[in-house]
Amino acid sequence: MSAVGGRRAPAPGESPAGLASVAGRVLPRRAARAWRAPPRSPAAWLAALVLGLAAFLSLYPTLMVLRGSFSGGRLGTPAALTLQNYVAVYANAETYALLATTLVYAVGVAASSVVVGFVLAWIGVRTNAPLARQMPWLVFVPYALPNTLSAVAWIILANPNTGLLNEAARAASGGAGPLFNVYSLPGMVFVATNHLFALAFTFLAAALHALDPALEEAASTSGASPWRRLWHVSLPQAWPAIFSTLALLFIVGLESFDVPAFVGIPAGIYVFTTQIFVQVSVRSPPDYGRAATYGVLPMVLALLLAWYYQRTIAGGERYATIKGKAYRPRRVDLGPWRWLATALFLAVFAVSAVLPVGTLALVSLAPTLAAARDLDLAHLGLQHYQTILADPVALRAIRNTLVLALLGATTAMGLGFFIAYITTRSRLPARGLIEYVLFLPFALASVVLAVGILWGYVRFPIAVYGTIWILLIGYVTKFLPYGFRATSTSLIQVHRELEEAAHMSGAGLGRIVRSILLPLTLPGLVGGWSILVVLFMREFSMSLMLWSPGSEVVTVLFYDYWTNGRFGPLGALGMLLVLVSLAIVFAVRRASRLDTVAAG
Amino acid sequence: MARQTCALGVRAALLVLLAAVACAPAAPAPAAPAQSAAVASGPVDRDAARAEGKVVGYGTLIDSQWKTLNELYERQYGIPVENWRGINTKIQSRIETEKSAGQNLVDFVGVTSYTMDELGKEGYLQKLPPDLLARVPERARDPNGYWVLWIQLPLTIFYNTRLVSEAEAPKTLEDLLDPRWRGKIAMPDPALNDIVTAWFYQLRQQWGDERAQRFFTGLAAQNPTLFESALTVSTNVNQGQFALGLGYLVHVLSVGGPGGDMAYVKLDPTPASNTVFALASNPPHPQAARALADVFLSPEFFQSAADLGYPTSMPGTHSALAGVDELNLQQLPDLTGDKQDEMIAYLKGIFHK
């Protein structure tokens, strides 16, 4: 994992739990002394309330998934406990075929993302390839492109009949058959990798940057080629980071819904998440009990893997190469190969960012998809943008998306700040447990969590179903660990002495937070907040399960436009989202100074 | 002590949580599907309708139909029609979920007759007043009084005329098994789209198991691209993403437009689904819903459907798509419950990889 010395928010997709264990190890003993709020003081009650709320948000939907899986009744209605869903799901050979497909997909996505991410991270962080310092910035362009849009772009580019790439290949070769077929399992893995390699890059770049260059230098002195050094020196040193990234991306692949929905369903290829979606949203009447039961197996798998991942991280000291001795990482001189290395990076960038974004831009400007395919540049215009901006539903979706993103990020960061304050400044016995509890929904596939939320909140005393508030609850529940990590990594760097001095001078808790903690942790908070805003703007899986007419968000409209064949408005709305996301991502990079990773 | 307070808080929260989970099944059941009073017969209260601000509909109508409906309605009442388009099962699923949540979010529904029957059985619809039922001939009315037939949706093969000439186009369903169509067919997923499930069920009944199995496995071997919605199929064929499609015949005009790039294959008999109209029980905007029914079942809106090529239930309207009025339409069977589940499992085994 990345170094903990820099004040930064966790990167998008970074495991908060992984960082949690690192933070736990570096937390100074003095900072962990007893929290000194007087008994039954408002602060103590506030702490109890915040922790209770966080525990409720995390545990309630998780337990409701389990409760729902034993229910034979309708959503939220009384029903006796039964095993019939388990018999129907897990005594069915089809489920194991589904499991096999899911595992192949998740392993494929994790492995290919890590391979691409590692090679590019090594080029970007450890070599003198031209543009190396810009690479950590550039990889965020494909990450800012939501998977939903990437999938649509690749369908237009690589569908077997009229995909632009296939037509170009046919024109070049004279062959009749398609060169690419996005509607296939390899196609699904390819589309997902285009997005997720950026995550692998981020984790691995941080790890590679932290490696002691002495071994590489020794290998170089012994005459090893750059590639031999990569294979025999850098790779073994980075193995813990590679493994943890692999594990994390496997979980991401397991819970992935967007690419399987857009690309897998048309190909007749189903994974657990799409099967759950079908049970709830397409099957009639919806079978929430069976959906919850389908969700149990990936939930158990993800939790086991997360636990194993935690253990690996916790035992990672034996691989430590960052020692007390000062050193400055040196970049490997690739000689003439450096141009090839940059060309490789640019090729991946072109495939993962330029091609799909360019395709979306073209589709958003062309009057019809056929015109876009024919590259009819004479008739490009802004008609689809005008359509979007004149459509009350699209405008409402944009407004809902912004409200949810801003409010959700603020809520998650606010709650995260309180929890982090309590866990870093107190000796609360349940401190470690809280981190695990917070992590629970994070390990759940979003569609599984959405099923739990529906079970839990559909007949909640406060009516939230049918409003944007159920989406807010879903977003905050899923991503609260981000808020917690972003704030706790900042808080542990603020020495307790500052607060003690303020306390001695008569400042109350509120004043200490306002005058000391908030200003000092602001960069980390802003970084984490911005990342959450972007994540919420592009959230798809939960939104598709929880929305109702009136609470649409932009990604739900993508799916709606896609199923209705409205490629132009989809492209236009997608481009607007990408531009806003990119602006925020780059602001995040500046605020959280992630680019310093590449500065070695 | 503070530490104890916090620990106490966590424990209390956990206890509350466990109590909440344990109590979840004991939550009050939704009110029995109430038969809400039928909307008033006679003239619409325009002011009351307008005061409700909007009307909300879920239906399988395509964009241009929603647009026309909205234009007609807004012109008369000055308030918009908010719509959500989905396939039949999705609409049923959403209404079920909303009703489970004790929420009434929809005013009117436009889906196929057997989906509407299911919704009626659950108490999610209200009976239409006699003056609205009387807008269509008796044969187009639900015997239980919940819905009226609006349009028929014939199913067939259609093709993109820029990619396939009339001479080389398939003439029968089994012509789709010709190797030259491999990878060039788009169709609704027969295990997801209830209309195609029912169509294939009907074929199995008519052809017998052996011939139907040969056709289905042959079709699956052609590697068709499977979409959830028939509309996605026709828009993709219209835009040249695929040469051939299976789906709604009238999309040749309603999606492709006059003089567009799609043509259809005449099957005899031609299987047909339908779209029927009903009002939801306990609609959130009762007056606006009553006014909407008035517009939906108006000659003008029936005619707009006919102009898009649909055969309608309103006497005197004629499909604008050549040959449609002469088709030998054969209604799809009402496929629900165990029979539907069994057919879905059978088709999944063939079409899903």
Q: What is the CATH number of the domain that holds B148?
A: 3.40.190.10
Q: Are residues B229 and B341 in the same domain?
A: yes
Does residue B112 belong to any structural domain of this protein?
yes
Nearest CA in chain B to A461: B27
Q: Please give the Cα distance from A381 to A583 (Å, whole number).
A: 24
- Among B163, B170, B60, smallest CA distance to B112 is for B60
Indicate whether B158 and B265 sit together in one domain: yes
- The whole-angstrom separation of Cα A151 and Cα A261 is 9
Q: Is residue B299 part of a domain?
A: yes
DSSP character for A320? -
Q: Looking at CA atoms only, how far is residue A514 from chain B in angstroms?
A: 22
In chain B, what residues touch A392 (CB-CB under 8 Å)? 80
In whole angstroms, give the CA distance from residue A202 to residue A352.
16
Residue of A nearest to B83 (CA): A549
B223 and B305 share a domain? no
Q: How many independent structural domains does chain B possess?
A: 2
Q: pTM of the prediction?
A: 0.80
In a domain, B13, yes or no: no
Chain A residues close to B234, C-beta within 8 Å: 565
Say yes or no: B241 and B195 in one domain. yes
How near does any CA of chain B get to the CA of A276, in Å? Answer: 13
B278 with B172, same domain?
Answer: no
d(CA B275, CA B147): 10
- Is A453 at the interface with chain B, CB within 8 A? no
Question: What are the backbone angles phi and psi of residue B242, rounded to the nearest 5°?
Answer: -135, 150
Pick the closest to residue A263 from B95, B26, B225 (CA basis). B225
Does any domain span residue B37? no
What distance in Å separates the CA atoms of residue A166 and residue A150, rounded to the nearest whole number? 17
Based on the domain organization, do B51 and B117 belong to the same domain?
Answer: yes
Range of the domain at B136: 46-152+273-326
* B160 and B212 inside one domain: yes
- 3-class SS at A401? helix
Residues B210 and B66 in one domain: no
Q: Please, are residues A298 and B105 in contact by the beta-carbon 8 Å criterion?
A: no
Please answer whether residues B280 and B289 qualify as being in contact, where contact means their C-beta atoms are separated by less than 8 angstroms. yes
Assess whether B333 and B311 both reside in one domain.
no
Pick from A40, A282, A454: which is nearest to B192 by CB?
Answer: A282
- Phi and psi dihedrals of B158, rounded to 5? -130, 165
- Measuring CA to CA, how many Å separate A596 from each of A154, A589, A593? 33, 9, 6
Q: How far apart are CA A466 and CA A477, in angstroms?
A: 18
Which H/E stretch holds residue A479? helix A468-491
Nearest CA distance, B134 vs chain A (angstrom): 31
Question: Are B205 and B333 contained in the same domain?
Answer: yes
Are B147 and B86 within one domain? yes
Tell me whether residue B40 is in a domain.
no
| Closest Cβ–Cβ partner in B12, B18, B87 for A52 | B12
Give how far B254 is from chain A: nearest CA, Å: 13
pLDDT tens for each residue of chain A, 600 residues long: 333 333 344 444 444 433 333 333 333 344 344 445 555 667 777 777 888 888 899 899 988 888 889 987 777 677 788 899 999 899 988 899 999 999 999 999 999 999 999 999 989 988 888 988 888 888 888 887 888 999 999 999 998 877 888 888 888 887 777 788 899 999 999 999 998 998 889 888 877 877 777 777 777 778 777 778 777 877 787 787 888 888 888 988 988 999 999 999 999 899 999 998 888 877 767 788 888 899 898 888 888 877 776 666 555 444 444 444 445 567 777 788 889 999 999 999 999 999 999 999 999 999 888 788 777 778 889 999 999 999 888 999 999 999 999 999 999 999 998 888 888 877 776 667 777 788 888 878 899 899 899 888 887 888 888 889 999 999 999 998 888 877 877 777 777 778 888 888 888 777 888 888 888 888 778 878 888 888 899 899 999 989 988 899 999 999 888 887 888 999 999 999 988 887 876 776 666 554 444 333
User: What is the DSSP secondary structure assignment for residue A445, as one 8-state letter?
Assistant: -
Q: Is position B32 within any domain?
A: no
User: Does the residue B38 lie in any domain?
Assistant: no
Mean pLDDT across chain B, nearest whole number?
87
Question: 3-state SS string over chain B?
Answer: CHHHHHHHHHHHHHHHHHHHHHHHHHCCCCCCCCCCCCCCCCCCCHHHHHHCCCEEEEECCCHHHHHHHHHHHHHHHCCCEEEEECCHHHHHHHHHHHHHCCCCCCCEEEECHHHHHHHHHCCCEECCCHHHHCCCCHHHECCCCCEEEEEEEEEEEEEECCCCCCCCCCCCHHHHHCHHHCCCEEEECCCCCHHHHHHHHHHHHHHCHHHHHHHHHHHHHCCCEEECCHHHHHHHHHCCCCCEEEEECCHHHHCCCCCCCEEECCCCCEEEEEEEEEEECCCCCHHHHHHHHHHHCCHHHHHHHHHCCCCECCCCCCCCCCCHHHCCEEECCCCCHHHHHHHHHHHHHHHCC
B17 occurs within a structural domain: no
B338 and B201, same structural domain?
A: yes
Q: What is the DSSP letter of A514?
A: I
